[in-house]
Structure 1
Amino acid sequence: MEQLHYVTELTKRIRLRVSGQKEDETVQYKRIFPSFTWCVRDFTLELKHNGKDITEDEYLMISLKRKQEDPNSQDPDHMKEIEDYNLPRRCILQYFHSHKCFVFGFPVIPKKLKDLENLADHDLEGEFVAQSKRFCNYIFRSGSIKTLPGALVVNGRMLGSLAVSYVEAIKSGAVPCIENAVVALAESENTQAVKDAVTKYEAEMNRHVGTFPTETEKEFVQLHLECEKTALEVFMARSFQDNEQTHQRAFKDKIKSVMKRFSQRNEDKSSQFCMKLLDKLNQTLQTNIAENYYSKPGGHKLFLEEKKKIMETYKTRPGRGVKAHSAEQEFLTNLKEIETTIRSADVSMSEKDKELEAKKAKNKVLRREKEMAEETNKKLEERLELEKKRVEHHKEMLEKKMEEEKEKMKKENEEFLERNLKDQEAEQEFLANFTNNENQTTIRRADVSMSEKEKEIGAEKAEAEAARREKEIAEETNKKLEESLEQERKPSEQHMEMLIKMIKEEREKMVIENKAFLERKLKMILAECLAQGNKRFEQYKVELEQKMQEEREKMRKEYEAILKRKLKEADDLQEAKFKKLTSKLSDHSSFSESAYL
């Protein structure tokens, strides 16, 4: 046992917290240190004490029994000798949460020891083989799992990171600190948890890329939420002690970025499909336009019928996806100028009919724009609703994880308390029995003349004193453990408060963003409507001026025609008068000549 003196240096070679160690924190080492298993290979050892058979565990507890100091002794060497004897035993009892002993006898007969490495199991002593099996069964079935504060189970990867942290601290001349090592481990594990979760999300989304484009935006968002749920489970399974939610926010931001990339792919596939479909359906219309098929009386009506046929066929085709309406709007916008030209060239239509058709076309455009705005608002509302569900689900998972961590911590504290009390009770019971037996033997040897009544009184006093000491130790231990539990509970409550605050902030931010988006969209729609109204007014003004110009030109031509007609009539009248006058003059001349003759 004296060879285990290194346990006395444990608290000097490792610290629990950065702020230093308090005297009442030594019991907390039981949460960190493993169980104590002592394997004894003493071929001369007999498991007997005071002539009685004892078990291996009783032998260990006897070996851990501390010597009592003599209060009357003033010899410093003697006191140091007792302290050196008691210190490793006290440390083993204080720092390790359970104590087990295995005693191994000869594996083989002495003459076969030199060939021990080459012997098979059946060549070994049966008792040694049986003891080895008991030892292995205890380690595999009853050995405690390595944990960190907060009931965090340590796996091989995490143990490697901790070992690196400890070795680096020792190499730098510092004292390894468990708190620092856990913080560094949490940073590493949480960072990797974000990467693993994002990778899982991308893998899940890539499995559904073949189904793109989705018919509606809601389908895509639901698909995103399902994949995000799986990724969130991966993140939650690996992350721990993310008290500031730094990595939770990083997880959310990266998932959002990747989701936007997949959303763009979904929209691109939808746009490509719709444009190919419209190009295919539009071939007849484009051929007719190229051949001036609609440049004849009634051509505008034929054009509208062909366009209507294209739209009806387009709307019945599945697989158009989320950009179906946008592609339709773009297609109709491209045909608008051609439709106006055909309508203007259709001589079979009166000016009034043309104006009426133009007005109908404009109303259709406004109606489509209104439908697009309503559809956008509907999509936004659906996304907002799904986003609320996502936040609620995220909150539920975080709360569930918090509850699980709290339950683990509570269970760990209860087990620690129960185990500590059992160890103390067993130790006190054993030491009390052991001390009682020794005291009785000493008393019988020292004073055989003591009366039975005095012996009973002495025994009762000893039992009362032992019970009092046990009660004080149990109360002190309970107090320390309750304080420890309270200290561990406070960070959990703070973490939950911060989590609820973060979720509220996310909700408020999301509402503000959606409100701003709706306001921008409404302003854009109003601006477009105003611009279209101004454009229609300008067109109406131009048409009115053109019509007035035509009327003026018509009136001018009519006036010129009337003027020409009047002038012609005046000329004809003057000519008739002139002819009549000429005729009279001719007649008068003839009469004068006759009279003269």
Structure 2
Amino acid sequence: MDAPVPPMPAPLCLVTNEDGVLSLDPAALAVLQEVTQPLVVVAIAGPYRTGKSFLMNQLAQKRVGFPLGPTVRAETKGIWMWCLPHPRRPGVTLVLLDTEGLEDPNKGDSHNDAWIFTLALLLSSTLVYNSKGTIDQKALEHLELVTQLSELIRVRDGDKDGDDSVGREDDAEDCEFVRFFPGFVWVVRDFTLELRLGERPISEDEYLEQALELKHGHSRKVQNYNATRLCLRNYFPTRKCFVLPSPLGTGEQRLMEELPEDALAPRFLQQAAKFCDYVLSSAWPKTLPDGGALTGRALCMLLRSYLEAINSGRLPCLEGAAEVMMANENAAAVAAALEAYARGMRELQQPTEPAQLSTWHAEHLSEALDVFRRRSFRDRDQEHQRRLMEQISMEYSRLQEENDAASRRRCKALLAELVRALDTNLAHGTYAQPGGYRAYEAERQRLLEGYRQAEDKGPKAEEVLDEFLAERRAEAEAVLKADNALSEVEKQLEDQKQQAQLLEQQQKAAAEREQQLQALLEDERGSHAQSLQALEAKMREEAADAQRELSRALDATLREHSEMLQRGFSERAALMEQELAALRKEISCNGNKQELAANVVEALRAAFDLASVWKLSRMSKARGTAV
């Protein structure tokens, strides 16, 4: 089961911003890396001193946490993080990211603003934009950072990396951002207007959509007017709006953070609660475009990749960062799964019977595969799962060899103890007299009976006994020949009886080895069946996750396409039809993956059945047994 979020009583600075240089804070990274649960990541951005931190504290259901600051000086620098158990979703961690205010006059670096905003957007599953007043042209101009996104990030390697000769007017490519970007929530603070359109009352969402309406025309003025609006429409799969009145009432000058919550305006508190309810109930976990939910460790890897690109002067590549993260996480998933298997198997006392070892192997293999399934991402060609199975197979073989060795030590020690009386009598000449062979044989039978009744001998009991009897064969013959009380006929009969016992023991040892071979083959078959079952489940799970994400992107694009047609933007709608066609094709291909999963599993099962027969034949020949 995934571990809960480590205790975090207060926010920590995740991304520091010193003199325009962005870097990661090790203490915050260490906390985030320990979060193994899925993450709902809510980031907030907006102009400085607009009350962003208050909203984030409300989401955390805390009165204090993110610094509010009593002066006109911006308090938050860089990106601050607070990890908390999600109040409504067990097994999910809520990660709140509070960013430094945009357009701080003391900072004097708008490019730095753009990178802070971009990082908040790329890390979050829901992005909250917080502003004051109204959503008008001036407010949209403050949000023109959105129009820079196509110049700041790439979807994949090979896209433009600072080459102005390649135009970014390719709207179909811009539409791909909807698969990577979070949901968008615009919170308008100190809102004083009446929500009406003409004589008709409108909702907050309608207010936002009205503000984002496009103008017809191709002049530069129209293009500038439409630029931010188009980006907000194209990039974000969902849009939501909340308007909050002044928290203190008309004419009130005291600072909000100095007052108890019940002193704030009821309407403000009502709208703030409505905002929190929406975000906490509707914000989805942070995922890759194919639906794979991210953990804290995975999010750290993405953040590192983005910052390395930014600080080296390159553009962050969304798919490239995801590929690096997935490769690292899959390798870590193999290591974690192998450790889970080895840790479980170490608890088994050796020597043990093969059936018990096999049972433990199956149990802890299942545990390892579950660990791998939960931690791995898009394991193409089953490369990492195959590596895991190979390493577990090697570890299991090593454990079998250890168990065999422990069994041999236990059996030899047991025989050494049981044979002590026999050896003492031999040393004293007890059997070197008439009737000595009968006494020798009686003592040997007591030894064999004691050996067979002893427990916990392990898988080499018959083989070690066979070796022991073969080693003592000459000794038994000497005692038999020296016994003058026996006739030659009786000696011949006793000799034949000894040979029969030795042959019987050889057959038991051979049967024991054959049983081990068959058990090994059954273990391999069981392991392969578990691996295939885990593979099929993972492929179906990934296909279902990808289908949900593709459907979400398709729904968002369809809504925008319909809006463009209704508003008469036929050229824009035609460009979007290319993206719709690509999404539908991908959804169709992804829908076949579940059927493909079953076919892949069946093909792998058939291939294994042939390989296992060949392997058993070779093993049998190597050990001198018959299949």
Q: TM-score, normalised by structure 1?
A: 0.73
Match of 1:94 in 2: 234
Distance across 1 between alignment mates of 2:392 and 2:591: 31
Distance across 1 between alignment mates of 2:284 and 2:413: 66
Matched-pair contact (CA < 8 Å) for 2:146–2:232: yes
Deviates more, 1:3-12 or 1:87-96: 3-12
Distance across 1 between alignment mates of 2:577 and 2:282: 28
Q: Which one-letter code corresponds to 2:207 in the other structure? A: Y
Match of 2:307 in 1: 167
Q: Tell me the CA shift for residue 469 of structure 1.
A: 9.5
Match of 1:137 in 2: 277
Match of 1:25 in 2: 173
Q: Tell me the CA shift for residue 246 of structure 1.
A: 2.3
One of 100, 117, 139 as aligned partner of 2:257: 117
Q: Tell me the CA shift for residue 44 of structure 1.
A: 4.4
Distance across 1 between alignment mates of 2:428 and 2:141: 109
State yes or no: 1:202 paired with 2:342. Answer: yes
Matched-pair contact (CA < 8 Å) for 2:172–2:578: no
Matches within 5 A, 1:44-83: 44-69=192-217, 79-83=219-223
Where 1:410 maps in the other structure, the secondary structure is helix
State yes or no: 1:333 paired with 2:470. Answer: yes
Where 2:624 maps in the other structure, the secondary structure is helix
Match of 2:619 in 1: 517
Distance across 2 between alignment mates of 1:26 and 1:126: 42
Match of 1:438 in 2: none
Distance across 2 between alignment mates of 1:187 and 1:269: 39
Q: Which one-letter code corresponds to 2:327 in the other structure? A: E
Alignment deviations for residues 410-469 of structure 1 (CA, whole Å, 9 cap, x no partner) = 2333343334434555x469x76xxxxxxxxxxxxxxxxxxxxxxxxxxxxxxxx79x99
Distance across 2 between alignment mates of 1:383 and 1:373: 15
Matches within 5 A, 1:196-345: 196-209=336-349, 212-214=350-352, 216-345=353-482
One of 314, 320, 341 as aligned partner of 1:180: 320
Alignment deviations for residues 27-82 of structure 1 (CA, whole Å, 9 cap, x no partner) = 33212101111111254434333354332212111111111217xxxxxxxx1111
Matched-pair contact (CA < 8 Å) for 2:152–2:315: yes
Match of 2:142 in 1: 3
CA separation of 1:44 and 1:218: change in aligned 2, threshold 3 A: closer
Distance across 2 between alignment mates of 1:189 and 1:497: 27
Distance across 2 between alignment mates of 1:99 and 1:23: 19
CA separation of 1:504 and 1:176: change in aligned 2, threshold 3 A: farther
Matched-pair contact (CA < 8 Å) for 1:244–1:498: no
CA separation of 1:134 and 1:514: change in aligned 2, threshold 3 A: same
Q: Which one-letter code corresponds to 2:613 in the other structure? A: V
Q: Tell me the CA shift for residue 522 of structure 1.
A: 2.5
Distance across 1 between alignment mates of 2:256 and 2:172: 48
Distance across 2 between alignment mates of 1:130 and 1:108: 13
Q: Tell me the CA shift for residue 505 of structure 1.
A: 4.7
Where 1:37 maps in the other structure, the secondary structure is strand
Distance across 2 between alignment mates of 1:162 and 1:366: 67
Where 2:186 maps in the other structure, the secondary structure is strand
Where 1:117 maps in the other structure, the secondary structure is helix
Distance across 2 between alignment mates of 1:20 and 1:472: 22
Q: Tell me the CA shift for residue 503 of structure 1.
A: 5.1
Distance across 2 between alignment mates of 1:18 and 1:499: 32
Match of 1:190 in 2: 330
CA separation of 1:385 and 1:258: change in aligned 2, threshold 3 A: closer
Which structure has the larger Rg?
Answer: 1
Matched-pair contact (CA < 8 Å) for 2:433–2:483: yes
Distance across 2 between alignment mates of 1:145 and 1:180: 21
Q: Tell me the CA shift for residue 333 of structure 1.
A: 2.7
Distance across 1 between alignment mates of 2:177 and 2:549: 14
Distance across 1 between alignment mates of 2:558 and 2:464: 75
Distance across 2 between alignment mates of 1:173 and 1:223: 53
Matched-pair contact (CA < 8 Å) for 1:218–1:379: no
Where 2:381 maps in the other structure, the secondary structure is coil
Distance across 2 between alignment mates of 1:471 and 1:27: 12
Matched-pair contact (CA < 8 Å) for 2:540–2:593: no
Distance across 2 between alignment mates of 1:169 and 1:361: 80
Q: Tell me the CA shift for residue 348 of structure 1.
A: 3.2
Q: Which one-letter code corresponds to 1:64 in the other structure? A: L
Q: Tell me the CA shift for residue 88 of structure 1.
A: 1.0
CA separation of 1:477 and 1:517: change in aligned 2, threshold 3 A: closer
Question: What is the aligned-residue identity percentage?
Answer: 31
Q: Tell me the CA shift for residue 135 of structure 1.
A: 0.9
Structure with more of its chain in strand, by fraction: 2
Matched-pair contact (CA < 8 Å) for 1:147–1:153: yes
Distance across 2 between alignment mates of 1:387 and 1:144: 40
Where 1:240 maps in the other structure, the secondary structure is coil
Where 2:213 maps in the other structure, the secondary structure is coil
Q: Which one-letter code corresponds to 2:370 in the other structure? A: E
Q: Which one-letter code corresponds to 2:232 in the other structure? A: I
Q: Tell me the CA shift for residue 118 of structure 1.
A: 1.0
Matched-pair contact (CA < 8 Å) for 1:222–1:386: no
State yes or no: 1:37 paired with 2:185. Answer: yes
Distance across 2 between alignment mates of 1:68 and 1:167: 39
Alignment deviations for residues 209-236 of structure 1 (CA, whole Å, 9 cap, x no partner) = 3xx432x323311221111111111111
Alignment deviations for residues 134-175 of structure 1 (CA, whole Å, 9 cap, x no partner) = 111111111232221211112322212111111111222222
Matched-pair contact (CA < 8 Å) for 1:14–1:178: yes
Matches within 5 A, 1:284-433: 284-351=421-488, 353-422=490-559, 424-425=561-562, 427=563
CA separation of 1:157 and 1:18: change in aligned 2, threshold 3 A: same
Distance across 1 between alignment mates of 2:387 and 2:300: 25
Where 2:185 maps in the other structure, the secondary structure is strand
Where 1:273 maps in the other structure, the secondary structure is helix
Distance across 1 between alignment mates of 2:614 and 2:304: 47
Deviates more, 1:383-392 or 1:29-38: 383-392
Unmatched segments (≥5 aa) in structure 2: 1-139, 161-169
Match of 1:531 in 2: none
Q: Tell me the CA shift for residue 475 of structure 1.
A: 6.2
Q: Tell me the CA shift for residue 493 of structure 1.
A: 7.6
Matched-pair contact (CA < 8 Å) for 2:310–2:316: yes
Distance across 2 between alignment mates of 1:469 and 1:111: 49
Q: Which one-letter code corresponds to 1:227 in the other structure? A: H
Structure with more of its chain in helix, by fraction: 1
Where 1:40 maps in the other structure, the secondary structure is strand
Q: TM-score, normalised by structure 2?
A: 0.70
Distance across 2 between alignment mates of 1:395 and 1:6: 48
Matches within 5 A, 1:400-479: 400-422=537-559, 424-425=561-562, 427=563, 478-479=580-581
Q: Tell me the CA shift for residue 87 of structure 1.
A: 1.2
